[in-house]
Amino acid sequence: MRAIMVHEHGGPEVLTLTDLPEPEAGPGQVVVRAEAIGVSVVEAHMRAGILPIPLPAVLGVEAAGQVVAVGEGVDPALVGTAVAGVTGGAGAYAEFAAMPVAMTAPIPAGVSAVDAVAAGAAGAVALGLIHKAALRGGETVLVEAGASNVGGYLLQLAREFGAGRILATAGAEGKRELARSLGADVVIDHRQDGWTAELGDAIDVAFESIGGASARGVIEALTPGTGRMLYYGRLSGEAPAITPDDLLGRGATLVGCSGPAWFAEVFTVRYPEVFARLADGRTKAAVGLTLPLADAAEAHRLVESRGVTGKIVLIP
Ligand SMILES: NC(=O)c1ccc[n+]([C@@H]2O[C@H](COP(=O)([O-])OP(=O)(O)OC[C@H]3O[C@@H](n4cnc5c(N)ncnc54)[C@H](OP(=O)(O)O)[C@@H]3O)[C@@H](O)[C@H]2O)c1
C-alpha cells in the first residue's frame, strides 16, 4: 500500500511516499481502507518534533473508510461497515490503517467520509469541551483560535449550550470574519502582542488552545472566584506560561482536557454524538480542501502557512 512515512523530524520535505505491506488488525483493532484522511496542526507538530513520536513511522491520526479486517475480540460483522476513527498515535496517512475499535464510530448514511474526517475528532473534542465546561446560562466564553478546526466547532456549539457573550480570537481578517459568522460577538487578532488586554475581566469560561505567554493574560481576564480555563491545546508549541499562584490570586480553576480518561469519553460518547449531529444537520462539517495522499507535504505547508480555513483532507 502507499503510505507517507517520516524517518527523521524536520520540515514538510521529510514526508516520504513509500510502499509498505498493509497493516494487520491486532487484538481490539480494525483495519480500515481509507477514503479520507485528516490533516491537522497536531501532525505537523509530530513531524517537526514539537510533539515527538517514535520514528520511523507512518504519520497520521485520523481516517474514515470501510472496515476490511478485524482483530481478536472484535465483532466480525463490522467488516464492510463505514467508520471514522483515530489511530491513537501514528499510521493514518496510508491506504489502510489499523485503529483500536474503541476509537472508531460508524458513519451514518448520508454523511461522506470527507465530512466525517473533517468534523469527527475536532467536533467530538469540541463537544467534550462544551460538556466539560457545564455552562451556566448566559456565561461569557472565550474561544481561542476560533477559526481552527476545534475552535470552529466550539463556536458552532457555544450558543446552543448556553453561552451568552462569545469572544473569539483569530489571525487574518478572513479567519476573524469566519469566527464572527460562527457566532462570535467579538473577535480579537491573536497575532498582536498583548491581545489579552482586550478581554476585559469577566470571562467565565476560556477554551485555551494557544498556550505560551498569552495564557497568563487569559487567566487575568477570568471572572474572579468562578472563572475556569479548559486547557486542551498549545498551538504556539508552548505550554501555558502560568503558575499555581496565577490561579490562586484569581480564585480560578484550571481544567486539563487530555489523557486516556478524556479521550475515552471523547471517542466512546462524543464521536457518535458528532456524527448524529452531522446526519441531522445540527453541526456543519468545515472542509478546507482535499488533496491526493501523495501531496501530504503540500498539505503540511498549507497547515503551517495558516492560510487554509477548514480541514485539509487527503484522499488515497
Ligand atoms: N486535547 C484534545 O483532546 C485535543 C484534540 C485535538 C486537538 N487538540 C489541540 O487543539 C488545538 C487545535 O487543533 P485543530 O486541529 O483545531 O488545529 P488546526 O485547525 O489545525 O489549527 C490551525 C489554526 O490554529 C491557529 N494557530 C496556529 N498557530 C498558532 C499560534 N502560534 N498561535 C495562535 N494560533 C495559531 C491558526 O489560526 P489563525 O490563522 O487564525 O491564526 C490556524 O489556522 C491544537 O493545539 C491541538 O493540539 C487537542
Render pLDDT for 110-134 as a digit per residue (tens, 0 to 9): 999 999 999 999 999 999 999 999 9
CA of 148 to the centre of ligand 1 (A): 5
Predicted confidence band at 307 (pLDDT cuts at 50, 70, 90)? Answer: confident
Judge whether 267 lies within some domain. no
Which single residue is written with the C-alpha cell 469519553?
265
Q: Write the CATH number for 48.
A: 3.90.180.10
CA of 169 to the centre of ligand 1 (A): 11
146 CA: nearest ligand 1 atom:
40
Q: Are residues 35 and 130 in the same domain?
A: no
Q: Are residues 166 and 214 in the same domain?
A: yes
Judge whether 304 lies within some domain. yes
262 CA: nearest ligand 1 atom:
3
Q: Are residues 192 and 76 in the same domain?
A: no
Residues 119-177 have pLDDT tens digits of 999 999 999 999 999 999 999 999 999 999 999 999 999 999 999 999 999 999 999 99
308 CA: nearest ligand 1 atom:
43
Q: Are residues 127 and 174 in the same domain?
A: yes
Q: Are residues 97 and 159 in the same domain?
A: no
Residue 169 amino acid letter: T
Residues 261-277 have pLDDT tens digits of 999 999 999 999 999 99
Residues 25-60 have pLDDT tens digits of 999 999 999 999 999 999 999 999 999 899 999 999
Q: Are residues 99 and 158 in the same domain?
A: no
Q: Are residues 126 and 230 in the same domain?
A: yes
Judge whether 117 lies within some domain. no
Picking from 215, 237, 256, the residue at the C-terminal end of a domain is 256
For the residues 227-245, what does the mean pLDDT come to?
95
| Site residues for ligand 1, CB cut-off 6 Å | 40-42, 122, 125, 145, 147-151, 170-172, 175, 190, 209-210, 232-236, 257-258, 303, 306
Q: Are residues 129 and 94 in the same domain?
A: no
235 CA: nearest ligand 1 atom:
45
Predicted confidence band at 315 (pLDDT cuts at 50, 70, 90)? Answer: very high
On average, the pLDDT of the chain sits at 96
Picking from 256, 273, 296, the residue at the C-terminal end of a domain is 256
pLDDT at 192 over 90: yes
Residues 15-24 have pLDDT tens digits of 999 999 999 9
Q: Which domain holds residue 68?
A: 2-106+286-315
CA of 210 to the centre of ligand 1 (A): 7
Give yes or no for a cis peptide into 56 (omega within 30° of 0): yes
Predicted confidence band at 69 (pLDDT cuts at 50, 70, 90)? Answer: very high
Q: Give me the number of domains the chain comprises.
A: 2
For the residues 63-87, what does the mean pLDDT come to?
98
Q: Write the CATH number for 160.
A: 3.40.50.720
